[in-house]
Amino acid sequence: MLPSSRIPVTGLGVIAPGATGVGPFLDQLRTGRSGISPVKKFEVMPERATTAGLLNSFNAREFIPVLKMRRMNTLSRLGVSAMKLALADAGLEAFDSHRGDTGVALGTTFGPVQTSVEYLNEYVAKGASLAPPQLFAESVANAPGSHIAIEYGLKGFNLTFTQREASVLTSLLFAASQMIKGTVTRSVCGGIEEMNDITFSVLDRIGALARPCDEREEKCRPFDLHRDGMVVGEGGAIFLLETEEERQERGGKAYGYIAGFGIARDATASLSDWGSDAQAVVTSMRTAVEDADLDLAEIDAIFASANGSIRGDRLEYRAIQSLFGHNLPPVTAVKGYFGEYAAAGGLQLAAALLALREQFIPGTPGFESGEPEMHFRPVTHSESRPLRNVLVNSLSAGGGVVSCVLSAAT
């Protein structure tokens, strides 16, 4: 018999800017405290972007023995540490392999860029034949997934998705679909992202990042009238998925259920832009709600993809207004807590799952007032609210859209 068509998320490992673990992350969301701060990790250009959501206090040594850590790059350390947190959160030390295979599907936007840079530094210093092989082996985007599989003996599929901002929702779609298909009985899913000076400076040079100006401080302002770009972030988020049967059998908790997905692509999008045809986002959201076998009226909140970019946010609020009309549920945009790309979309998903479990909606940091044609105000401060189902959007530059419906455990 195939497993049921809703997959529970039974464990959560979160490494966010300024918050390691579910408790501190939840506290951030509830109190509206952002993890974004001035960049000290690398030099930034004068009169350009100066802030990011960086992992200033995270220490992988708390999770991984030093000898093992030496064989891992930053992304792999993030992945393995978040995995350890997720298992502990689920009340497990490891998966019981006698119950069947476990798959791994991770997401990352840029992959281990810093490892590639370090490899090239050695290539320049020592020559093409003497650069360290260990660095090359770690320069592949799927190294973190591989380390997680080796550490915990996970022999199911092991894929790494790289669909920019939508990387984690894409990995979640794949992992959940494989569990429904019956290929594996559990999946490890999630995302990891690091920020270095090259990625930051390229994004800044092309004008993608928010900057300080005379009247206003530099800030991530999702949906706001004065938004002028995104603030980037790094982080790790791991989600454990088990079949409902297994969860019930071992008495595990469920943050919520993965209930449906929608995908689409905006054909008007250029390669570095989200596009301007709201229809693709409408299609993605509507399909996700239908896939979850729900009506639009049963969606109690939308966790928007909005990141403070002028065109991307406009596209999304137009699509939300077009699909929901006058029956719009509360909308929140949480990237002001940790920045865009943080855990490749994984922290946004973690926020939505925590909201479902705790029955509240976190506020949208950075929002004050919207454009005249925007007919709704996003939730600005955390508020308690009964949530049955929430819709999570990921809009990626290049035009790809993935939407996911999560349902409460009750």
For residues 155-184, which are near another protein according to CB under 8 A? Answer: 155-164, 170, 174, 176-178, 180-181, 183
User: Quick check: 237 and 1 in contact, CB under 8 A?
Assistant: no
User: Using the rule CB under 8 A, is 6 a contact of another protein?
Assistant: yes
For residues 311-330, which are near another protein according to CB under 8 A? Answer: none
Distance CA 112, CA 120 (A): 13
Q: Which range touches another protein (CB under 8 A), out of 53-61, 77-85, 98-106, 209-217?
A: 98-106
Query: Residue 274 Cβ, how far from another protein at the closest point, in Å?
Result: 12
Query: Residue 169 Cβ, how far from another protein at the closest point, in Å?
Result: 11
x/- string (CB under 8 A) for another protein, residues 30-69?
Answer: ---------------x------------------------
> What sign does the CA torsion over 111, 224, 220, 311 have?
positive
Residue 237's H or E segment, with its range, is strand 235-242
Q: Which range touches another protein (CB under 8 A), out of 31-39, 57-65, 87-95, 152-160?
A: 152-160
Q: What is the CA radius of gyration of the chain?
A: 20
Residues 6+ apart with CB under 8 A from 381: 32, 363
Member of 193, 234, 266, 313 binding another protein (CB under 8 A): 266
Helix (H, G, I), strand (E, B) or coil at 361: strand
For residues 358-397, which are near another protein according to CB under 8 A? Answer: 396
User: Quick check: 89 and 188 in contact, CB under 8 A?
Assistant: no
Q: Which two tokens stand for residue 130?
A: 């003497």
User: Using the rule CB under 8 A, is 400 a contact of another protein?
Assistant: yes
For residues 276-295, which are near another protein according to CB under 8 A? Answer: 280, 284, 291-292
Member of 53, 111, 190, 236 binding another protein (CB under 8 A): 111
Q: Which two tokens stand for residue 140?
A: 């592949």
Could you tell me which residues are beta bridge partners of residue 107?
A: 161, 191
Within a 10 A sphere around the Cβ of 283, how many other Cβ atoms? 19
Query: Residue 162 Cβ, how far from another protein at the closest point, in Å?
Result: 4
Query: Residue 287 Cβ, how far from another protein at the closest point, in Å?
Result: 8
Member of 94, 206, 213, 310 binding another protein (CB under 8 A): 206
Q: Return the number of the residue (162 or 380) whose C-beta is nearest another protein.
A: 162
User: Quick check: 393 and 284 in contact, CB under 8 A?
Assistant: yes
Member of 229, 260, 329, 363 binding another protein (CB under 8 A): 260
Query: Residue 362 Cβ, how far from another protein at the closest point, in Å?
Result: 25
User: Using the rule CB under 8 A, is 244 a contact of another protein?
Assistant: no
- The closest alpha carbon to 329, from 275, 389, 371, belongs to 389
Could you tell me which residues are beta bridge partners of residue 400?
A: 265
